Amino acid sequence: MSRSAKMSDPFGGSLPTQAVVHAQRLLRRWSRQPEVLIQSLVFPLALLLMYEVVFGKLFTLTSGHGSIYRFVPLVMVMGALLGAIATGGSLHKERETGLLWRWWVLPGSRAAVPMGGLLAECVRALVTGVLLLAAGVALGLRFHRGWFAAAAAVCVPELLLVGLATMAIGLAVTHIGKSMVELAGLLILLGGFFNTGFVPAEQYPGPLQEIVRVQPMSTAVDAMRDLLYGGPVMTPLLETAAWSLGFAVIFGTMAVRNYRVAVQDIPAH
């Protein structure tokens, strides 16, 4: 590439390279925002401690094994999904302020911005997951299936995050993006009380048991628990992948269709 071409294209390179540049931009910005650090690190750690201290003994008795093997996966999944919602909210804010339109008219791939946001969120979720796993070890969690299985467990929220972040992006670029993203966040918080990380599915009322068992947070938590403690991993892992793929296909189509409209809708100042 000539020097003049590099000057006209501040990002340069292929789509993955440009996505990495945008991801680095977001990670640097997040590192300077205390509220992001609190949401990403302090809140999940406090939630894990609260669950274990307040409910630990009770849930250990009802589930038959250490509650920490449910609580660590649950908090990791909730942290990843709430981060996905934050990605959608950030994208909607960039649309409202006109920043998204400015990225659109610059040279370079127009898909780099949402891809960079997804990549940055995956990095954030991975760091949070490693810290939560370390906190879980301090609280008594052990890797019954070895280090490799524990590393795979940390990656399960990343798998679900891809689909949910795509959903958040698809909702954020609609005309009612803010309301839709907030509604999705409320549904995730509600799902935090109706999943197998909180109590086993068999202990929910009869009509809710199958819904709780197959919802995406439950499948991800079950896969992580089986990787850490022991159990049949393949079924919940494939179910989690199917949920993520479904979200990515449905809402990815929505995002592609509405993204051009969103960036060209220049806000009045």
pLDDT tens-digit readout, 230-264: 888 999 999 999 999 999 888 888 777 766 666 55
- Separation between Cα atoms, residue 223 and residue 228, nearest integer Å: 9
| Mean predicted lDDT score pLDDT of the chain | 80
The answer to whether residue 103 sits within a structural domain is: yes
Q: What is the total count of domains within the chain?
A: 1
C-alpha dist (Å) from residue 199 to 61, 203, 208, 211: 11, 7, 12, 14
H-helix segments, the chain: 3-8, 15-31, 34-37, 43-50, 56-63, 68-97, 99-105, 112-138, 147-172, 177-191, 206-214, 216-228, 234-264
Q: 199: closest CA among 53, 58, 48?
A: 58
Range of 91's domain?
Answer: 14-264
The answer to whether residue 6 sits within a structural domain is: no
Check pLDDT > 70 for residue 126: yes
Q: And the tokens for 65?
A: 């094994």
Q: Average pLDDT for residues 182-205, to the nearest whole number? A: 82
More confident residue, 99 or 143: 143
Check pLDDT > 80 for residue 269: no
**Lowest mean pLDDT, pick from 85-94, 136-145, 258-267:** 258-267
The answer to whether residue 241 sits within a structural domain is: yes
Check pLDDT > 50 for residue 10: no
Residue 2's pLDDT is 42
The answer to whether residue 4 sits within a structural domain is: no
**Lowest mean pLDDT, pick from 95-104, 157-166, 246-255:** 95-104
The answer to whether residue 126 sits within a structural domain is: yes
Check pLDDT > 60 for residue 5: no
The answer to whether residue 269 sits within a structural domain is: no
Taken as a whole, the chain contains a residue count of 269
The answer to whether residue 5 sits within a structural domain is: no
Q: Average pLDDT for residues 189-201, to the nearest whole number? A: 83
Q: Using 50, 70 and 90 to split pLDDT, how confident is the model at 1?
A: very low
The answer to whether residue 2 sits within a structural domain is: no
Q: What is the pLDDT of residues 24-61, one digit of tens each?
A: 888 888 788 777 777 778 888 888 888 888 777 767 66
